[in-house]
Structure 1
């Protein structure tokens, strides 16, 4: 057990910014929620091994489009309310919370409900990096017709008539679609709690240690920041064993928002003797070069760093004319949850982007 600190909040958000892969929420929001948690009570981070196999863990998240194209509002009380709504509906005792992904704010998703409701934060993630659909962080329950889930959301601006609370139960696939619509109606981003699962199940299906990996990376970034942008980029590459795919100027950005709370499109980077195309569905999902060679595919971690500051940029922060360093961590270097290896979670993302993902990411598995 580890008691989290204010420095851990900063580290989680900075390390989470890399695993955010262009999405994963908003840095200032993550800091605010994490620090607010520590003003309420102690926040305890535990490994899944420290919990009994039958302990129930709930996933805390935010649903929506992180590119900053909508007028959303999520307050700390909304994260707490979403968890309370599930606890009221669920018949068993919930002892811990976890995040379905790392990100600028999503790494601290569960900290506030943890402090407010006397729960522990579990050092596991549904996916170590950020992803566009709930299925990708659902640890195998996304298309399980035998798993009856409970999901709840809370958030939106009351003064605009957008605030809502919603609890749904049923299969993960159907209820997740309802919450996507709720997110759009509330303003494009909403706090959520979902999927009560046992510690035994989490141990077998999550990306174990996913949160502490983000915190450790964040400390490496903090240590390098006084030396400037290149030192930060070098520290990230060294800590993660990732690689810079290319550097260059953003020549084109083509993004649009959908009524299912997705930001979809492409960002093109003119690297020396090549052009890199980053495919975006809330997060970076693939990189192609000018010869149509696939350079990286989800579930690789894909990020874009400002060469001026060294910071990982969200898609909303990227503008035409900016100089970027495009980065990847190969999936072989990160813990993979069962959901990112599930071929059934890919079709809707592939259809939205018009490219193949699963076949490219797991072609060795398919060939054998």
Structure 2
């Protein structure tokens, strides 16, 4: 990957990115207020970076980051560290097979979704790709898979739930996309 066009996301950009995602997102994508807070946390923590798709090497593996949410859920619990931990789990799992992750990409546009990846970039040093793979939220994994449901296997990580309770989940799933998506979206506890 070339680094000539790598840009650091600054605090001044965060609100513009979140508002742009909220306006351009086609539905879902989370809270604008929480998105701005999450983006501000990322730039307070470190230096999230963003690169153009054109700057990626064709062999770079790009992890798609997303939040699995249910706006009406009253018991959901995901800490910012959980977003980072999910990326770490996938990076470690892929490294076990000799695969190196080159970048991150948000799954969709929306008030929160657009900034998803900034904290993970700040912590891991992986750049975020200036592109969204879906554009909008989808109620099922296969619907939002950009054609990956045709692949034989999907590797996904999920982290969340109140620590110390039966509802806490930290897992890596390797399965057909529909099966993996069902496991990640299952209500535990």
What aligned pairs does 1:44-83 form with structure 2 within 5 A after superposition?
A: 44-65=49-70, 67-83=71-87
Which residue number in structure 2 is paired with residue 96 of structure 1? 103
- For residues 252-291 of structure 1, the C-alpha deviation after alignment (integer angstroms, 9 at most, x for no partner) is xxxxxxxxxxxxxxxxxxxxxxxxxxxxxxxxxxxxxxxx
What aligned pairs does 1:112-261 form with structure 2 within 5 A after superposition?
A: 112-145=119-152, 148-158=153-163, 160-181=165-186, 184-185=187-188
Q: Which runs of 5+ in 1 are unaligned?
A: 187-368
Superposed displacement of residue 82, structure 1:
0.3
Is the 1:102–1:125 contact (alpha carbons within 8 Å) kept by the matching residues of 2?
A: yes
* SS at structure 1 position matched to 2:181: helix
Which residue number in structure 1 is paired with residue 31 of structure 2? 26
Where in structure 1 do 4 or more consecutive aligned residues deviate above 4 Å? none
2:15 alignment partner, one of 10, 21, 28: 10
Is the 1:24–1:101 contact (alpha carbons within 8 Å) kept by the matching residues of 2?
A: yes
Superposed displacement of residue 159, structure 1:
5.6
Change (3 A) 1:22 1:49: closer
Superposed displacement of residue 133, structure 1:
2.1
TM-score (norm 2): 0.87
Which residue number in structure 2 is paired with residue 215 of structure 1? none
2:91 alignment partner, one of 87, 91, 94: 87
TM-score (norm 1): 0.47
Report the structure, 1 or 2, having the larger strand content: 1
* SS at structure 2 position matched to 1:81: helix
Which residue number in structure 1 is paired with residue 116 of structure 2? 109
Superposed displacement of residue 39, structure 1:
1.7
Structure 1 vs Structure 2 CA RMSD: 1.7
Is the 1:96–1:120 contact (alpha carbons within 8 Å) kept by the matching residues of 2?
A: yes
Change (3 A) 1:123 1:136: farther
CA distance in 2, matches of 1:75, 1:24: 17
Which residue number in structure 2 is paired with residue 43 of structure 1? 48
Is the 1:127–1:136 contact (alpha carbons within 8 Å) kept by the matching residues of 2?
A: no
Q: What is the total number of aligned residue pairs between the two structures? A: 181
* SS at structure 2 position matched to 1:58: strand
- For residues 209-245 of structure 1, the C-alpha deviation after alignment (integer angstroms, 9 at most, x for no partner) is xxxxxxxxxxxxxxxxxxxxxxxxxxxxxxxxxxxxx
* SS at structure 2 position matched to 1:98: strand
What aligned pairs does 1:263-342 form with structure 2 within 5 A after superposition?
A: none
Superposed displacement of residue 15, structure 1:
1.7
